Structure 1
Amino acid sequence: MIFGRVKPLDAILATAEKKSLTRTLGAFQLTMLGIGAIIGTGIFVLTAEAANKAGPAMMISFVIAAVVCGLAALCYSELASMVPVSGSAYTYSYATFGEIIAWIVGWALVLEYAIAASAVSVGWSGYMVGLVENIFAIEVGNDFVAGPFDANPGIINVPAMLIALLCMALLLIGTKESARFNAILVAIKVSALMLFLVLALPAMNAENFQPFSPNGFFAKEVVDPITNNMVTVGVAAAAASIFFAYVGFDAVSTAAEETINPQRNIPIGLIGSLAICTIIYMLVAAGATGAVGAQPGGELSQSKEALAFVLNEIGHGWAGKLVAISAAIALPSVILMMMFGQTRIFFVMARDGLLPDVFSKLHPKYGTPHVVTLCTGIFVALFAALFPVGKLADISNSGTLFAFFTVAVGVMILRRTNPDRPRPFRTPLYFLVCPLAAAGCVFLFFQLSGYTELMFLGWTTIGLVVYFLYSRRRSHVGQGIA
C-alpha cells in the first residue's frame, strides 16, 4: 500500500532521543546558517543564466521564486516546530504520507543538497579561475577548469573538486566549528553584495531595461545562437532556474536536532534568512540589469562571474576584483551548508533502517556522522568535476520542488489527522498558503527543461529499485521496531 507504514510523530521524537545529536545552535547561528546556504552561486553566478533566459524581466523571475519559497518556508516552519528532529521533508513525509513517499522525498533531497553543493563548487571554480586570470594577467587553459559536459568542454574541473573535498573535511570536525566558520563567511558575502549595490545602483540606466521581456513569460525551447543547443527560455523558465538562488533555507530545518529551543529558533532561522536574502536579491538583480543590460545572448548572460563583470564594465575594476575575491572566499559556506543538510538526511534515513546502519555512526572524537559525510563529499566532488553549473542547478531544483510540494501537502494532512498536537508555530491562513505553495512548486517544476524532468524521473526510478531491493526489508517501522 503506497501510504502504508506511517511513522507516528511520537515514535519519530523517541527515535531522535535514543540516538541524538548535540544541541549547540541558537537563533542567530541558524539565521546565519540559512543566509550562508542561500546566498551563493544563485546570485553570484546564475544571474547570468537568468539574464539569458528572461532578459531584464529576470527581476520578475526573482519575485516568483521568492514567493514560492516564502510560502514553502511558512509550511516548513510549522512542521519543524512540531517535529524538531533532523531529516527535514523526509521526516515530515514519514509522519504524513508513509514510508515509500518518505523514501522518495529523501532520495530526491540528494538532488537538492548534494547536487546543489556540486553546482556551487563549479560556481566557485569560475570565480576563482577568473580571479587568477585577472590578478596574474594570464589565461588559464580549459582542460582542468571545466568538465566534459560544459558548453566549452574540458577534461575535469579540478578547483571545483578540491573545494568540495575541503568542505567535507571541515564538516568532519564538527557542527559548532562549522557554524562559526560559516558566520564569518556570511559576513564576507553580504559585505561584497553591499559594495556591489553601492556602486551598481547609481549607474542604472532606464534604457537597459528595454525590451523588458524579450522571450515572453512561459517556458519555451529555442536554439542558443552561441552553442547551437536547445535551451529553455522565458520568465517562468528563469524563475525555475533562479529558484536555486533561494534553495538552502530549508537546510535550517535539518539542524533541528542540533538546535537549542528548536520550537522557537527554527522558524526564526527559516523565515529570517529567506526575508533578508530576498531583499538583497531584488536589489542586486535591479543593479546588474540597470548598469549593463541583461539581454539574452549579451555579455552579462555569458559571464561565469556575473557581478564582478558588471563592476568591471562600469569602471570599478578594483571593486570587481574585491567581489570576485569575496565570492572565492565565501561561496564555500554554501557548499558547507548543502553538504551539512545532505549528511543529516542520510543520517536519519539510516537511523530508521532505510540505509545501512554504518551511515548513522558518529565519530568517537568529533561526534559527527563521519561515514556519511565522507560518502557525500566524494559524490559532490565527482559531480562538480564533470558537470556545468546550469545543468546541476536545474537538476537540484527538481528534487527541491518535489520536497517542498510534499511539505506543503503534509501541513494540510496533519491539520486534519493530528489537530490537537502542539504547534509552537502555525502557518497563517494554511488553507490558502499550503495549496498556493504546492501549486507554485508544480508550476515551476514543469517550467524546467524536458531533460531535467527526465533526469528526475530516472533518479526516482533508481531510488525505488533501491527501496524494494534493500530498504523495505530492513525498515525499522516495517519490522515493528518503531
Structure 2
Amino acid sequence: MLFDRVKPLSAILSAVERNGLPRTLGAIQLMLFGIGCIIGTGIFVLTAAGAQKAGPGLMLAFVIAGAVCIVAALCYSEIASMIPVAGSAYTYSYASVGELLAWTVGWALIMEYAIAASAVSVGWAGYFSGTILHEFLGIYLPPWLSAGPLVLGGSAGGFINLPALVIALLVTWLLVIGTRESAIFNTILVAIKITALTIFVVLTLPQAELARFNPLLPAGLFGGFGTGVGAVGAAATIFFAYVGFDAVSTAAEETKNPQRNVPIGLVGSLLFCTVFYILVAAGAIGTIGGQPIMGPNGVPFPAGSEELARQCALAQYAGNLVCSDEALAHVLRQIGYSGVGNFLGIAAFVALPSVILVLLFGQTRIFFVMSRDGLLPASLAKVHPKYGTPYVVTIITGIAVALGAAFFPVGQLADISNAGTLYAFMMVAIAVLVLRKREPAAERSFRVPAVAVVAPLTIAGTIFLFLNLPYAAMLMLPGWSLVGLVVYFLYSRPRSLMGAGKVEVHELDTDRLEPDTPGIADRGRD
C-alpha cells in the first residue's frame, strides 16, 4: 500500500539520539533566526512588488498573510514541541500521513527554499551594485557581470550575476563552519535590520497623509483567479516573506529545551515581524503614495514585467514607489532624508545575507533528514567531524543556489516559492489533526487552542492564498511534484529505511509498541 509507511514517534526521536545534530540554540537565537528571514525578504525586496499588486491595500495584504501565518504557527508550535527534530513539515508528515505524502512535502520544501535563497541573493546583488559600488564608490559594474542571461519569456541581457554568485557561496561557507557561528552572525545582522527599520518608521509615520491611502483598494480585494493582483493576490506574494518561521522549526533538532523554545521562536518571530511589516508599509505609502500603475484594462501591470519597466521609464512615473528597486531607501530620499536613505540601503546590503543564511539552513536540514531516512543518498547526511554540520548537503545546496542566482533573475519567482510554502503549511495542519487522533496521549508541551477550528482554518487559508497566486506559480507545484514522484518511485521508495524495516526505536519504548507496528518486529533490539 502507498500510505502504509507511517514512522512511529519513538522511532523519529530515537534516530535523533543516535545520529542527531548538537543542540546549541536557545529561544532568543531561534526567534532571531525567524526574524532574520522574515524581516528582509518582504520589506527590502517585495515592498514595491506588493504595492504594484495592491496599492495601499498592501497593509491589508500583510494582515491577511499574517492571519494565515498565525494559525499555521500555532499548528507548527504544537507539532514541533512533540517532534523536536530537523525536517520541519517533512518529518511531521512522515509521523502522521506516511512516507509518500511526506516525500511530496520535502520535495516541495526543497524547491521553496532553493528558489527563495536564489531570489534574495539576486536582491542583495542589486543593493551591492547600486548602493555600494555605484553610489558610494563610484564604480559601475557592467551589465554582463550584474545580471543573469536567462529570464522566463525573454533575456535579461547579461552574462552572469557575479555578486549574487559570490554572496551565496560565502553564506554556504559560513553554514559549513557551524550552527553556533551562524547564529552569532545572524544576531548581529538582525540588530542592524531592526535599527534601520525602526528609524524608517520614526521618520515616515509622522509625515504620513491620509489622502495617500485613497483609494485603499485600487485593484480590488480580489483581483481575479490566477491574476495575482488585488489585496489577496499581494498577500499570496508576500507570503514569501514568512518562510522564516518555518525555518525555525527545521532547527528544532539543534535547539536546547525544544518543547519550550520552539513555540517561543515560532510565534514570537511571526508577531514581531508582522507588526513591523504593517508599520513600514504605512510609512512608505503614507509619505509618497503607493498607487499601482494600471494597464489599459484597468488591471495593474504585473510586478517585474517588461510592461511595467517601460511605464517606469516614463517621466510621469519618476519617483513612484512601485518602480524602485530600493523601495525604503527611495522613500527616505524622496522626503528629504537622503543620508538616512543611504544608510538604510547599506543596512539592507549588510543584512540580506542573514535571509539567505536562514533559507539555506532550512533547506539543508530538509535534505539531511530525508537522506537519513534513506530517501536520498546516505552520503548527503554526513556530519563534518570538526564542525558538526551536514557539510556535504550544505555544499551541494549552496552551489545549486549560487548557480541559480548567477544565471536567473529569480526575484520575480517568489510566487513559485510560495506554492511550496503554502502546501507545507497545509500538511502541518493536517498532521496536527491526525496526531491528535492517533497519538492522543503523546506529550505536548504546547497544545493548539480550539484545534478543531484553528487547523481547518489553516488548511482553508493556505488553499485560499494558493488559488490567488498567478497561474504559472500554481502550475509549478504540481509539475515539480510530478518530477518528485518519479524520483520517489524509481529511487527513494526501494531504498527507504522505513520500507526495509530499519526503524530506530528507544530501548525502553520497544515494550510499549504494539507487536504489529510496521518495521519493529523486523528490526529487533540493538
**Range into which the TM-score falls when normalised by the shorter chain:** over 0.9
Per-residue deviation at 1:152?
A: 5.2
The question of 1:302 aligning with 2:323 is answered: yes
- SS of residue paired to 2:228: strand
* Equivalent in 350, 360, 371 of residue 339 of structure 1: 360
Partner of 2:475: 454
CA distance in 2, matches of 1:94, 1:288: 43
Task: For structure 1, list consecutive stretches of 5 or more residues without a partner in the other structure.
Answer: 223-230
Partner of 1:206: 210
Per-residue deviation at 1:221?
A: 8.0
CA distance in 2, matches of 1:401, 1:455: 13
Contact 1:108–1:403 (8 Å) recurs in 2: yes
Per-residue deviation at 1:139?
A: 4.8
Partner of 1:173: 177
CA distance in 2, matches of 1:68, 1:82: 22
Provide closer, same or farther for how the CA distance between residues 141 and 92 of structure 1 changes in structure 2, counting only shifts above 3 A.
same
Partner of 1:225: none
Contact 1:41–1:245 (8 Å) recurs in 2: yes
Q: TM-score, normalised by structure 2?
A: 0.88
State how many pairs are aligned: 474
Per-residue deviation at 1:113?
A: 1.5
Aligned-pair identity in percent equals 61
Equivalent residues in 2 for 1:180-195 (5 A)?
A: 180-195=184-199
CA distance in 2, matches of 1:107, 1:90: 9
* Equivalent in 238, 253, 257 of residue 253 of structure 2: 257
Per-residue deviation at 1:247?
A: 1.8
Partner of 2:437: 416
Bigger mean CA offset, 68-77 vs 232-241: 232-241
Contact 1:309–1:320 (8 Å) recurs in 2: yes
Task: For structure 2, list consecutive stretches of 5 or more residues without a partner in the other structure.
Answer: 294-316, 504-526
Partner of 2:304: none
Contact 2:220–2:230 (8 Å) recurs in 1: yes
Partner of 1:90: 90
Bigger mean CA offset, 196-205 vs 279-288: 196-205
Partner of 1:232: 228
Provide closer, same or farther for how the CA distance between residues 324 and 274 of structure 1 changes in structure 2, counting only shifts above 3 A.
same
Contact 1:47–1:306 (8 Å) recurs in 2: yes
Partner of 1:445: 466
- SS of residue paired to 1:24: coil
Q: How big is each residue's C-alpha offset from its partner over 1:238-269, in whole Å with a ceiling of 9 and x where there is no partner?
A: 11001112221111111111111100010001
Equivalent residues in 2 for 1:41-120 (5 A)?
A: 41-120=41-120
* Equivalent in 461, 477, 480 of residue 498 of structure 2: 477
Partner of 1:144: 145
Equivalent residues in 2 for 1:1-12 (5 A)?
A: 1-12=1-12
Partner of 2:269: 273
Per-residue deviation at 1:191?
A: 0.5
Partner of 2:125: 125
Per-residue deviation at 1:105?
A: 0.3
Partner of 2:517: none
CA distance in 1, matches of 2:381, 2:223: 42
Bigger mean CA offset, 109-118 vs 395-404: 109-118
Which has the larger Rg? 2
Q: How big is each residue's C-alpha offset from its partner over 1:126-175, in whole Å with a ceiling of 9 and x where there is no partner?
A: 22222022224565443222223458543322111111111000000000
CA distance in 2, matches of 1:136, 1:213: 41
- SS of residue paired to 1:282: helix
Amino acid at match of 1:328: F
* Equivalent in 379, 394, 400 of residue 415 of structure 2: 394
Partner of 1:226: none
CA distance in 2, matches of 1:349, 1:334: 23
Amino acid at match of 2:174: L
- SS of residue paired to 1:315: coil
Provide closer, same or farther for how the CA distance between residues 281 and 457 of structure 1 changes in structure 2, counting only shifts above 3 A.
same
Bigger mean CA offset, 84-93 vs 446-455: 446-455
Alpha-carbon RMSD across the aligned residues, in angstroms, is 1.5
Bigger mean CA offset, 231-240 vs 80-89: 231-240
* Equivalent in 151, 161, 166 of residue 162 of structure 1: 166
Contact 1:118–1:392 (8 Å) recurs in 2: no
- SS of residue paired to 1:39: helix
The question of 1:379 aligning with 2:387 is answered: no
Per-residue deviation at 1:316?
A: 0.6
Per-residue deviation at 1:376?
A: 0.5
Q: How big is each residue's C-alpha offset from its partner over 1:326-377, in whole Å with a ceiling of 9 and x where there is no partner?
A: 1101110010011011111111101100000001101111111010001100
CA distance in 2, matches of 1:156, 1:399: 27
Provide closer, same or farther for how the CA distance between residues 210 and 59 of structure 1 changes in structure 2, counting only shifts above 3 A.
same
CA distance in 1, matches of 2:157, 2:148: 6
Per-residue deviation at 1:198?
A: 1.2
CA distance in 2, matches of 1:269, 1:463: 31
Bigger mean CA offset, 291-300 vs 279-288: 291-300
Contact 1:41–1:119 (8 Å) recurs in 2: no
Q: TM-score, normalised by structure 1?
A: 0.96
Amino acid at match of 1:162: V
Per-residue deviation at 1:392?
A: 2.3
